[in-house]
Every structure is written in structure tokens, then in C-alpha cells.
Amino acid sequence: MATIQVCCPNCNGLNVVKYGRQPNGTQRYRCHNPNCERQVFLLDYHNRPKMPELKRQIIEMALSGNDIRETAQKLNISPGTVVEVFDLLTSFGHSTPTTGLTSRA
Ligand SMILES: [Zn+2]
């Protein structure tokens, strides 16, 4: 049972192990973060609406000082999706435009 360098798409934690395969052969992973509500996930997000790449873009825009509406408009997504990612950021201690940018040393 080897621990591998895979980020959990939910909590971005690295405490992730391989967890068998889907019937179609896709590797499954399991997040061992006790605070993470997502336990098992796949790295194959091709058919999913919320892709890690999109989250990354949202986070980058948030950290650049865009607010929720601007981010949603520029990425052509719903504000709800932006709020979800912003909430995730906030839970990790990052400040977002909704709470005001604090220290950027
Ligand atoms: Zn997780």
C-alpha cells in the first residue's frame, strides 16, 4: 500500500492512497484526510462539470482580486461554482475577495 503524490480534488490534501479500479480500469483513489467529506475519487474528470483545472482558474482569479461575479463572468460559469471554490479557499485559511485580501507579503 503505497502513498502516492495525488491531490484530493475536494480538500487538495496529499494524504491519498490508491483504492482499486473502476470496472473500466480507471484508477480510484481514497483520501485519508479525516476532515474531508470526499473519500473516494478518480483522477479522470473528463466527463465531469467541475474540473480541477477550472478550480485552479477560479482560485487564480480569486487571488488576483477578482470578486465572485467577475470570476463567474470571465470563466463563463455560475456564481455558485465560484462561491463553492471560494469557500474551500477560506476553509484553508486563504483570504478571498469576499472576506477582503489581507496579507500578501
Ligand atoms: Zn480529501
Q: Would you give per-residue pLDDT tens digits along the chain (105 residues)?
A: 444 467 888 888 888 888 898 888 888 889 999 888 878 888 755 444 555 788 888 888 888 889 999 999 998 998 998 888 888 777 766 665 554 445 444
Unique residue bearing C-alpha cell 463572468: 73
Instruction: Find the 6 Cα to ligand 1 centroid distance in Å.
Output: 10
User: Which residues constitute the domain of residue 25?
Assistant: 3-42
Question: Do residues 10 and 31 both lie within one domain?
Answer: yes
DSSP strand pairing (3-4 vs 27-31): unpaired
Question: Do residues 34 and 58 both lie within one domain?
Answer: no
If you average pLDDT over every residue of the chain, what do you get? 77
* CB-facing half-sphere around the CA of 54: CA atoms within 13 A: 17
Instruction: Find the 59 Cα to ligand 1 centroid distance in Å.
Output: 17
Q: What total of structural domains would you count in the chain?
A: 2
Considering the domain boundaries, does residue 100 fall inside one?
no
Distance CA 96, CA 2 (A): 35
